[in-house]
Structure 1
Amino acid sequence: MHTPPKETIERIKEEIAKQLSYALDNLPALVEDKQAAKVLGVKQNTLAVWRSTGRYRLPFVKVGRMVRYRVSDLAEFMARRTVGHTGEIA
């Protein structure tokens, strides 16, 4: 899988900050699974399935029952999965 350009990841981080109502300079490093689901446009249960099956290999942090996602990982995940047309491999 290709590594997206840093500029693309930073642009997506800006979009995430806006979507979660944070200032870019005050964006937390980790967000709850509910916030991650909102950013990705999926349900929390979908993220739980992805975690248990490893379907998309989206990294997460788990301490006890607490699940958090790094904003940088979400931005990179979204950048890697962005395609220009349906013939591209994501």
Structure 2
Amino acid sequence: MYVSTSTAHHTPTIEQQVFRIISKRKAIRASRVRKTASLARDLRFDTVDVVDIILELERNFSITIPDEVPLTTVGDFVRYVREHAAAA
């Protein structure tokens, strides 16, 4: 019998990677990071925090996130990265 040795299930999803980057920024418990969480209101991130997150996402996923892209929730980041990292 053939058993797949694929390690695909060990690779973190884009969502997991984005959550990790966001939670790492201020050492937030992963349980507080939800797709609906507002970075400013719920997670108390300021503009510098958001810029640092954007730079980290750009480095990790080899994408560019333009300034005019509205990113206010964790889900906004996940959605943008998922759509643009796949095209890269």
Q: Shorter-chain TM-score category? A: 0.3 to 0.5
More strand by share: 1
TM-score (norm. length: structure 1): 0.47
Larger radius of gyration: 2
